[in-house]
């Protein structure tokens, strides 16, 4: 039976469970449950703290896991990323009080508060200097004002929390993160794991694309195909009127309204966009 780790709480938990449910796996009936046995699909799910997930997967105790790239990096566990899951995007940045004009070199010898001590230690080592790392579990943005740190290194999503506390990010991003599906480093996923990965990827890609259908004058097909090239190429079907064809192609969800405008401008008719719930490539 395949053993898969899923975040039990925090920012990634809800989206991770939603993707798994859409992929046809059994849901947790109670948010306090730590395991779910999905006999139909021969998978056992373990609901763990996202910070711990890479450790279980890196040791081979569990076959696959969903966690944040930043958390996996901080854990130091040896894991491979199988899929980027398209949610939980964040950056990991240094920040300090606005108006103090910090640069990364100013961090040498200072107190840096963070929940990701290993990411910070590694970055400082790469730069060839040391600083005092103050390890906190959360609410890191308030630590400077409370006097325990001079600067912080923390997760930035919208940037709202930094602004609220009068902080500005500085220096290069230490990590561009999002939710990832991980496996043990160097271990080729077996058939069951490959099937699980394909199912999850099918849902993730389905969420990132929409299906566009439209009627197109045959004379404009080449131009219309350039607007909607699809993944391989668009599907073109004859219509009862020999001067027209029906076209179908997947397009990136973020661009679909613009592409529909372009198709209408070109002369396409009956342009429809529909959600894709799942797919395989």
Ligand X SMILES: Nc1ncnc2c1ncn2[C@@H]1O[C@H](COP(=O)(O)OP(=O)(O)OP(=O)(O)O)[C@@H](O)[C@H]1O
Q: Residues in the site for ligand PRP, rule: CB under 6 A?
A: 11, 138-141, 154-161
157 is a site residue for Mg ion (CB under 5 A)? no
Q: Per-residue string for binding with ligand X, 39-58, x by CB under 6 A?
A: -----------xx-------
Which of ligand X, ligand PRP, Mg ion, none does 86 bind, CB closer than 5 to 8 A by kind?
A: none
SS3 content of the chain, % helix, strand, coil (to 5): 35, 35, 35
- Of 186, 50, 60, nearest to 116 by C-alpha is 50
Distance CA 179, CA 87 (A): 6
| Phi and psi, residue 70, nearest 5° | -65, -40
**Beta carbons within 10 angstroms of residue 139's beta carbon:** 13
Which of 138, 157, 166, 252: binder of Mg ion (CB under 5 A)?
Answer: 138
Minimum distance from residue 138 beta carbon to ligand PRP (Å): 3
Q: Which residue is nearest to ligand PRP (CB)?
A: 138
Instruction: CB nearer to ligand X: give 208 or 235.
Output: 208
CA distance 54 to 101: 36
Q: Which does 159 bind (CB under 5 to 8 A by kind): Mg ion, ligand PRP, ligand X, none?
A: ligand PRP
Nearer to ligand PRP by C-beta: 13 or 82? 13
Q: 209 and 276 in contact (C-beta within 8 Å)?
A: yes
Question: Mask: binding to ligand X, 78-107, rule CB under 6 A, as x and -?
Answer: ----------xxx-----------------
Query: What is the full DSSP assignment across 200-269?
Result: HHHHHHHHHEEEEEEEEEGGGHHHHHHH---SS--EEEE-SSTTEEEEEEEEEGGGHHHHHHHHHHHT-E
203-232 as b/e: b if 16+ CB within 10 A: bbbbbebbbbbbbbbeebbeebbebbebee
Least distance (Å) between residue 158 CB and ligand X: 7
Partner from ligand PRP, Mg ion, ligand X, none binding residue 154, C-beta < 5-8 Å depending on class:
ligand PRP
Q: Coil, strand or helix: which one is 158?
A: coil
Alpha carbons within 13 angstroms on the beta-carbon side of residue 101 total 0
Nearer to ligand X, 89 or 223 (CB): 89
138 binds ligand X, rule: CB under 6 A:
yes
- 60 near ligand X, judged by CB under 6 A: no
Q: CA 49, CA 244: separation in Å to the nearest integer?
A: 56
Instruction: Tell me the β-bridge partners of 280.
Output: none
Q: Which does 149 bind (CB under 5 to 8 A by kind): ligand X, ligand PRP, Mg ion, none?
A: none
Please report how many Cα atoms fall inside a 13 Å half-sphere around the Cα of residue 259, on the Cβ side: 26
Stretch that binds Mg ion, among 120-128, 138-146, 199-207, 227-235 (CB under 5 A): 138-146
CB of 155 to ligand PRP, least distance (A): 4
Given the complex with ligand X, which of 120 and 249 has the nearer CB atom? Answer: 120
Interface residues toward ligand X, by CB under 6 A:
7, 10-12, 50-51, 68, 70-71, 88-90, 138, 155, 157, 177
Under the rule (CB under 5 A), what is the footprint of Mg ion? Answer: 138
């Amino acid at each position: 039976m395949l053993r898969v780790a899923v975040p039990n709480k925090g920012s990634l938990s809800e989206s991770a469970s939603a993707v798994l449910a859409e992929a046809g796996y059994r849901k947790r009936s109670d948010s306090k449950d730590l395991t779910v046995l999905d006999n139909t699909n021969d998978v056992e799910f373990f609901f763990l703290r996202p910070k711990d997930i890479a450790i279980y997967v890196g040791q081979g105790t569990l076959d696959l896991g969903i966690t944040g790239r930043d958390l996996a990096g901080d854990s130091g566990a040896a894991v491979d990323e199988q899929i980027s899951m398209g949610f939980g995007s964040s950056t990991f940045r240094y920040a300090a009080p606005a108006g103090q004009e910090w640069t990364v070199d100013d961090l040498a010898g200072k107190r840096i508060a963070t929940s990701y001590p290993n990411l910070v230690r590694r970055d400082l080592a790469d730069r060839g200097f040391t600083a005092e790392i103050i390890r906190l579990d959360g609410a890191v943005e308030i630590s400077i004002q409370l006097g325990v740190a001079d600067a912080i290194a923390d997760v930035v999503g919208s940037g709202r929390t930094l602004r609220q506390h009068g902080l500005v990010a500085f220096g290069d991003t230490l990590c561009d993160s999002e939710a990832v599906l991980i496996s043990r480093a160097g271990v080729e996923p077996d058939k069951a794991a490959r099937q699980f990965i394909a199912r999850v990827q099918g849902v993730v890609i389905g969420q990132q694309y929409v299906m566009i259908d439209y009627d197109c004058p045959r004379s404009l097909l080449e131009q219309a195909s350039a607007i909607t090239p699809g993944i391989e190429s668009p599907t073109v079907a004859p219509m009862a009127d020999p001067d027209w064809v029906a076209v179908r192609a997947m397009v990136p969800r973020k661009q679909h309204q613009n592409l529909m405008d372009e198709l209408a401008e070109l002369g396409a008719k009956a342009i429809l966009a529909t959600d894709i719930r799942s797919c395989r490539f």
